[in-house]
Structure 1
Amino acid sequence: MGNYRTKLSRAGIKDVAVNAGKRSSSNPEGASPRANIKRPRRGEVQFLPNYPRGENKETLETRRMEMLEEFKKTPADRDMVLVHQHMQRTFPLRREEIVTLAPPIAELKERWPALFSEAQLYGEFHRITNQSLQYSFFAALDKNTPQLLELYKERKTGAFGKKMADLMMAYDEQDKNDISATRTAALAGLPLYLKEDSSVIFKSCKEEEFEAFQEGAVALVAVVAEENMAAGIRFQPLHESVIMEDQVVMSLRSWTDALMVLFGLIYALNLNYPAKLSGFFEFIQVVLLNLDDGRKQLKPKLQALKNYLE
């Protein structure tokens, strides 16, 4: 396999060559080792693709500039068909920037504004994983929700058990015909079941306090009208904001939609999972979306939960 990867690298296959730096004392002019480049370990079928046939960096940059001009127009006047076509075509250029340079979020928003719209984010996730984020996420969540809620009702001991009881009590007050509330309860209980502290990532505030909450590398901030509720999760927020690197990158109406978008952004922007919720996001990756095709070695508690749901 080593010889095979060397041949691929020499042939210019980017997702192999990006990790193949050979600088040494005997070859000081060689490419530097790519020790900090993250490998495709989360089911990315297109981690770092080559440019399309007939395209080069200059032609793809021209397409990017055309998209920027479209986003200077009002939403009603934008040619979204053209934007979609150019997003599809410029995918290799975008991934090359994101994977090799890891630019700040503010720079990415400026260069690729379409990436921070729901439709194009879902398209990007499909290009990376060959999977529909919306359909796969909600289909798997709805399938596992009854078992998850039954499991949560059994957890009653310790600090996390108390928070779980508060969450389930708050859920009991919701309209059971509201699928959004049921999905919220199923997802909000996961960090508590896995004994992970979600308070740094999942936040809530009043409208007048919102500006003070726009901090953190990654966060979901719910703007609410009522007082604090269980586990920091709002069943009926005024709106939800996805925060990255101290700025709002997207806003949505429901907590489950915002969480799904956050997961999609982690893939699209090649980010690590938040350390305090790594098990939670691995559950979404491996159990809900079945990325990595079951090859990933899970933590014992996460593996036990996966076995229970199967």
Structure 2
Amino acid sequence: MRVELLSDCKKRNNREIVRAKMERTFALRRQEVISDVPMTSDVQERWPALFDVMEVNAEFKRITTMPLQSRFLSQLDLHSASLLRVFSKQSGQQGKKLKDMAAMMTEDIDAGRECLIKGLCIYLNEDPEDLVKEYMDMTEANTLREVEGTTVGIYVARETPSNDYSDVGVILEGVVVLHDLESVALAAAMLFGLMYALNMNYPLKLRYTLEVLQKVIMELDASDLSRKAQNLKRKMHE
């Protein structure tokens, strides 16, 4: 059935068949991921159907019984006011960065969510550029080398510095695993879901941001919090 899926996922109008076979092969795939600890490129080769927005959503729900995309975005919206309130109370250089980030929020809901995620990085003393990387030309040799050196991240491609995105995607272990996504917030949800699907540890540079997204925003395994995450959660409810 796994071999059949290799050709099934290349056919048009075949989503239901792929979904059913991915459901039936879940236990095998989960065993492979946890026992063999394969590289992302190996999983992509063996299970290409997994690297699709609808299938990432489905796999996350199989693992956690929780919806991914809808919950991630709605919870981010739900907590936005309390996060902005916490950000506004910060002082010094960090406070200035957070105020500048909050000032970039517009009526565009996707832009607002992106600012919140980047603001979380700043608040937790992590660099938002380690999470969201912007490139002018995705075909340039320097850019390709940088992508290959990225363990976990979201890329944003623009044609010029001032225009809208031409592409948004997800990088895992130097491989572009998803592209043509609608927004940075959706890419963050997919990145989060794929890390669950591939049983990946959070990279040290982003461990607090990803922990807060998991345990405070998504409320998954929320009982065991680091001190930074605990302090943020307490301030959000003050």
With normalisation by structure 1, the TM-score equals 0.70
Partner residue of 2:101?
167
Letter in 1 for 2:177: V
Distance 1:138 1:207 in 2: 29
Partner residue of 2:20?
85
1:273-299 CA-partner distances (Å, limit 9, x unpaired): 11111111111111111111x321x22
Partner residue of 2:232?
305
SS of 1:221's partner is: strand
Letter in 2 for 1:205: Y
1:154-182 CA-partner distances (Å, limit 9, x unpaired): 32313x333323322333xx3x2x11112
1:122-164 CA-partner distances (Å, limit 9, x unpaired): 0000000000011221221111101212222232313x33332
1:109 aligns with 2:56: no
Task: Considering Cα pairs closer than 8 Å and 6+ residues apart, tell me whether 1 or 2 has the greater RCO.
Answer: 2
1:204 aligns with 2:137: no
1:203-227 CA-partner distances (Å, limit 9, x unpaired): 1110254434322111211112443
Preserved contact between residue 156 and residue 164 of structure 1 (Cα < 8 Å): no
Preserved contact between residue 213 and residue 221 of structure 1 (Cα < 8 Å): no
Distance 1:218 1:187 in 2: 15
Partner residue of 2:114?
184
1:220 aligns with 2:147: no
Letter in 2 for 1:152: F
Quote the offset at 1:201 in angstroms. Answer: 3.0
Preserved contact between residue 136 and residue 289 of structure 1 (Cα < 8 Å): yes
Letter in 2 for 1:306: K
Larger mean CA deviation between 102-111 and 206-215 belongs to: 206-215
Relative distance call for 1:238 and 1:154 in structure 2 (3 A) is farther
* Pairs within 5 Å for 1:45-64: 63-64=1-2
Preserved contact between residue 202 and residue 221 of structure 1 (Cα < 8 Å): yes
Equivalent residue in structure 2 for 1:256, among 174, 182, 185 = 185
Preserved contact between residue 75 and residue 217 of structure 2 (Cα < 8 Å): yes
SS of 2:201's partner is: coil
SS of 2:165's partner is: coil
With normalisation by structure 2, the TM-score equals 0.90
Partner residue of 2:5?
67
1:244 aligns with 2:172: yes
Partner residue of 1:154?
89
SS of 2:134's partner is: strand
SS of 2:130's partner is: coil
SS of 1:161's partner is: helix
1:283 aligns with 2:212: yes
SS of 1:273's partner is: coil
Distance 2:90 2:159 in 1: 29
Q: How many residues align?
A: 232
Letter in 2 for 1:148: L
Letter in 1 for 2:229: L
Q: Percent identity?
A: 36
Letter in 1 for 2:78: K
1:196-255 CA-partner distances (Å, limit 9, x unpaired): 233333211102544343221112111124438xxxxx9x42221211121211011210
- Normalized per residue, the structure richer in helix is 2
What is the root-mean-square deviation in Å for CA atoms of aligned residues? 1.9
1:144 aligns with 2:74: no
